A = this chain, B = another copy of it.
Amino acid sequence: MLTNPFYSQEVQGPFKTFPLGDFVLEEGGTLRGGYLAYATHGKLNKARDNAILIPSWYSGTSKVFEQCYIGKGRALDPARYFIICVNQIGNGVSSSPHNTAGNGGRGNFPHVRIGDDVRAQHKLVTELFGIERLALVMGGSMGAQQTYEWAVRYPDMVARAAPIAGTARNTPHDFLYTQSLMDAITSDPGWQKGWYGDNSEVREGLSRHALLWAVMGFSTEYFRQEEWRKLGFSSVQDFMTNFLEAYFCAMDPNDLLCMAWKWQRGDVSRHTGGDLKKALGRITAKTFVMPIDEDMFFPPRDCSAEQKLIKGSELRLLKSTCGHLVLTGFDQDFLKQVDLHLAELLAMPA
């Protein structure tokens, strides 16, 4: 077990934890004394039908939704909805390699699947809150993977779904990109097969990992137009050092690897023997599929191909030269687009 202030209540909170007990994972491991960390906004109504679930993306936590996506008068309005922002397993706030004690933690943390997250979230939603149906499940990137998994695994429980900038079945190209992220970390001799003493020992690997996010996480146009200036940086190097590298170097390498392994294997067709059409055919949620036009690894055409397999779904293209990482909430125009689509989706009977 390691202590990392980045994942503390002070930085990521306020959050609560929900115990999972000894949670058996799809790949055969067991999370002993596992838990989900979550934050809620608003109140669950008496009918228990105003709940929205938002799982987190790679490297993200529940905090970003509080900061950038939820607000009075917005689509995700806590005056109207009971919004549960849940941290995926391995993200550093819920049960993760770095915060798991004993020989089963750190470099030995077991493999986790998107399905494990969704089963754990199902326990949270049903056992703790007694919710039978979610008004909306939504999420970006790996959050979209969990959203799809929810809609396919528990179709009766998902009234509406909004997978943003992510896929139901990870693509082969995306698998390779994720592998390059993992290799950037594991190739650092300081990683020591996961048994480093502190994440700063893997700083070079984490920095290379940050560079790969610069290459694929934004867009060619983002750098051409020097959009990073809007965030207050004076050069690309300044942006790299004090934004992307600073962001990832604060994180735990094993936690990132846990999420990356999971990301690589996101696939709802595991429920239907590899038949994606059949899997997506199970979805009864009113679904808006929302890719980002400049996304380099979840390109609109991949998302659109999946959307066509979902009954009554709509493709809602989000526009941003910032590419995939605009999800992290630094662009107000993008957030407005998301709000408009979500408001429309939430207004639909489902």
Is A224 part of the contact surface with B, judged by Cβ < 8 Å? yes
Q: In the complex, what residues of B have CB within 8 A of residue A173's CB?
A: 215, 218-220, 222-224
Q: Please, which residues of chain B bring their CB within 8 A of the CB of A219? A: 173
User: Are B211 and A183 in touch, CB under 8 angstroms?
Assistant: yes
Oligomeric state, in copies? 2
A236 and B218 alpha carbons, distance in the complex (Å): 25
Across the interface, A171 reaches (CB within 8 A) one of B187, B214, B216, B220, namely B220
Q: Does A208 interact with chain B (Cβ within 8 Å)?
A: yes
Which residues of B have CB within 8 Å of A214?
176
Residue in B closest to A226 when the chains form the complex, CB atoms: B172
Tell me which residues across on chain B come within 8 A of A226, comparing CB atoms: 172
By a CB distance below 8 angstroms, the chain B residues around A211 are: 176, 179-180, 183
Distance between Cα atoms of A214 and B297 in the complex (Å): 13
Q: Is A302 an interface residue (CB 8 A)?
A: yes
Q: Which of A213-255 contact B (CB under 8 A)?
A: 214-216, 218-224, 226, 236, 240
Asked whether any CB of chain B lies closer than 8 Å to the CB of A188, the reply is yes
Chain B residues within 8 Å of A180, by CB: 208, 211-212, 215
Residues of B within 8 A of A223 (CB): 171-173, 176
Q: Is the CB of A299 within 8 A of B220?
A: yes
Interface hits, A274-329 → B, CB 8 Å: 296-297, 299, 301-302
In the complex, what distance in Å separates the CA atom of A302 from the CA atom of B172?
27
| Whole-angstrom CA separation of A236 from B170 in the bound complex | 14
| Segment 166-224 of A: residues with Cβ below 8 Å from B | 171-177, 179-180, 183-184, 187-189, 204-205, 208, 211-212, 214-216, 218-224
- Given A180-B215, A224-B302, decide whether A187 and B208 contact each other with a Cβ distance below 8 A: yes
Chain B contacts for A215, CB-based, 8 A: 173, 176-177, 180, 216
Most chain B CB within a 10 A radius of its CB, from A176, A179, A219, A226: A176
9 closest A-B pairs by beta carbon, nearest first, are A172-B223, A173-B223, A173-B220, A177-B215, A176-B214, A180-B211, A183-B208, A176-B215, A220-B299
Q: List 9 A–B pairs whose Cβ atoms lie within 8 Å, in order of A's numbering.
A: A171-B223, A171-B224, A172-B223, A172-B226, A173-B223, A176-B236, A180-B208, A187-B204, A220-B302
Known: A220-B297, A220-B302. 18 other contacts (CB 8 A): A171-B223, A172-B223, A172-B226, A173-B215, A173-B219, A173-B220, A173-B224, A174-B220, A176-B211, A176-B215, A176-B223, A176-B240, A180-B215, A183-B211, A187-B188, A187-B208, A224-B302, A296-B296
